[in-house]
């Protein structure tokens, strides 16, 4: 696992560089998209590169990590709509190229199985962008999630619903209780994981992710088992890392030509 500690704008540029490098060498790449605040600067940077540098996603596809169950189709916080607003509508994905789990399906388990199949049929995800919850979740794999899980229904923790109330008029009662989420094994099947975390609120989760024992209590720790995982954190999110000095030294001495 590579841990990079840098200011948030620099982290966004590094993540965008990895996406750009992939899409330019493999125009039909499959991207994995996260929602939430962590990737927003990356999406801004990709939209800028699309507008100014001709970075094209016309041949690419993308799969979202998760979706709330039961939010009406037009709800602004439905993740399908958030992804459309934050990235899909700002670049040139082909119609239908961005997919997400169907939180409005009548038969949710069948929709989850179909989503897993769609990812496999697309050849798997090349680069998965991730955030991390303060409770250590990735996608919505809450503490206690099976490390071998696939896309399924999960119940959001009180902590996650409190954290996400800021997107729902600060009213926790408006935050759904259930979601569909890619499982930990689904995420681990992606070929490159790029996780972003900023702010002190993420410091304990980031410490556990990189340095804790692999455990369902901190689901993100499964990333320690991935052959190509990159963790991009700012100073505040890095503040509990025991090996912060070593991570900084490693990145500072990395050859410039070598991407993430
Ligand atoms: C969203 C997702 C979640 C978020 C996490 C952090 O698709 O999968 O795991 O990445 O809850 O959220 P933010 O970035 O808003 O702090």
Cα 211 to middle of ligand 1, angstroms = 20
Pocket test for ligand 1, best of 36, 78, 137 (most atoms within 8 A of CB): 36
Q: What is the pLDDT of residues 243-254, one digit of tens each?
A: 999 999 999 999
pLDDT at residue 136, as a whole number: 97
What whole-number distance in Å separates Cα of residue 242 and Cα of residue 247? 10
What whole-number distance in Å separates Cα of residue 201 and Cα of residue 135? 10
CB 94 within 8 A of CB 64: no
Please pick, among 142, 163, 192, 207, the residue that the annotation labels catalytic. Answer: 142
CA distance between the termini of the chain:
11
Cα 163 to middle of ligand 1, angstroms = 10
What whole-number distance in Å separates Cα of residue 192 and Cα of residue 2? 11
Cα 66 to middle of ligand 1, angstroms = 9
- Residue 137 pLDDT greater than 90, yes or no: yes
- Residue 46 pLDDT greater than 90, yes or no: yes
Cα 253 to middle of ligand 1, angstroms = 31
- Residue 214 pLDDT greater than 90, yes or no: yes
**Edge-to-edge strands of the sheet including 66-68?**
66-68, 178-181, 152-155
Pocket test for ligand 1, best of 133, 134, 142 (most atoms within 8 A of CB): 133
CB 216 within 8 A of CB 143: yes
Active site residue 137: yes
- Residue 256 pLDDT greater than 90, yes or no: no
Structure tokens at 90: 């700002």
Instruction: State the angle between helix axes of 8-25 and 40-53 in degrees (0 to 180), rounded to the nearest 10.
Output: 50
pLDDT-derived band at 258 (thresholds 50, 70, 90) equals confident
Q: What is the pLDDT of residues 57-69, one digit of tens each?
A: 999 999 999 999 9
Tell me what the mean pLDDT of segment 14-23 comes to: 98
Q: Which of 210, 201, 211, 193 is nearest to 237 (CA)?
A: 201
CB 145 within 8 A of CB 216: yes
Is the CB of 32 within 6 Å of ligand 1? no
Provide φ and ψ at 63, rounded to 5°.
Answer: -125, 135
pLDDT at residue 201, as a whole number: 97
Pocket test for ligand 1, best of 15, 33, 34 (most atoms within 8 A of CB): 34
Q: What is the pLDDT of residues 175-190, one digit of tens each?
A: 999 999 999 999 999 9
DSSP state letters, 25-40: H-TT-EEEE--SSTTH
- The pTM assigned to this predicted structure is 0.97
Q: Which of 206, 40, 194 is nearest to 126 (CA)?
A: 194
- Kindly report the protein residue whose alpha carbon is nearest to atom 15 of ligand 1: 36
Cα 130 to middle of ligand 1, angstroms = 7
pLDDT at residue 184, as a whole number: 98
Where do the H-state alpha helices sit in the chain? 8-25, 40-53, 79-86, 108-121, 158-164, 184-188, 203-211, 244-252
Provide φ and ψ at 95, rounded to 5°.
Answer: -55, 135
Q: Helix, strand, coil % (nearest 5) of the chain?
A: 40, 15, 45
Please pick, among 102, 126, 135, 234, the residue that the annotation labels catalytic. Answer: 135
Tell me what the mean pLDDT of segment 5-14 comes to: 98
């Amino acid at each position: 696992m590579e841990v990079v500690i840098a200011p948030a704008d620099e982290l966004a540029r590094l993540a965008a560089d990895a996406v750009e490098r992939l899409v330019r060498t493999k125009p039909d790449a499959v991207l994995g998209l996260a929602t939430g605040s962590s990737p927003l600067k990356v999406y801004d940077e990709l939209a800028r590169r699309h507008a100014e540098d001709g970075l094209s996603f016309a041949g690419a596809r993308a799969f979202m990590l998760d979706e709330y169950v039961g939010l009406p189709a037009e709800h602004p916080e439905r993740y399908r709509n958030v992804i459309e607003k934050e990235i899909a509508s700002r670049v040139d994905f082909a119609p239908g190229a961005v997919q997400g789990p169907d939180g409005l399906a009548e038969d949710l388990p069948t929709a989850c199985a179909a989503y897993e199949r769609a990812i496999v049929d697309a050849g798997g995800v090349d680069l998965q962008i991730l955030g991390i919850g303060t409770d250590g979740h990735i996608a919505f794999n809450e503490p206690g999630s099976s490390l071998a899980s696939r896309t399924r229904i999960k119940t959001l923790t009180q902590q996650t619903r409190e954290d996400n109330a800021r997107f729902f008029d600060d009213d926790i009662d408006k935050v759904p209780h259930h979601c569909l989420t890619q499982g930990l094994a689904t995420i681990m099947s992606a070929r490159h994981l790029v996780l972003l975390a900023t702010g002190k609120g993420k410091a304990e989760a980031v410490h556990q992710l990189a340095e804790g024992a692999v455990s369902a209590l901190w689901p993100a720790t499964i990333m320690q088992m991935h052959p190509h995982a990159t963790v991009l954190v700012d100073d505040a999110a890095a503040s509990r890392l025991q090996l912060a000095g070593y991570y900084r030294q490693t990145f500072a001495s990395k050859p410039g030509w070598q991407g993430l």
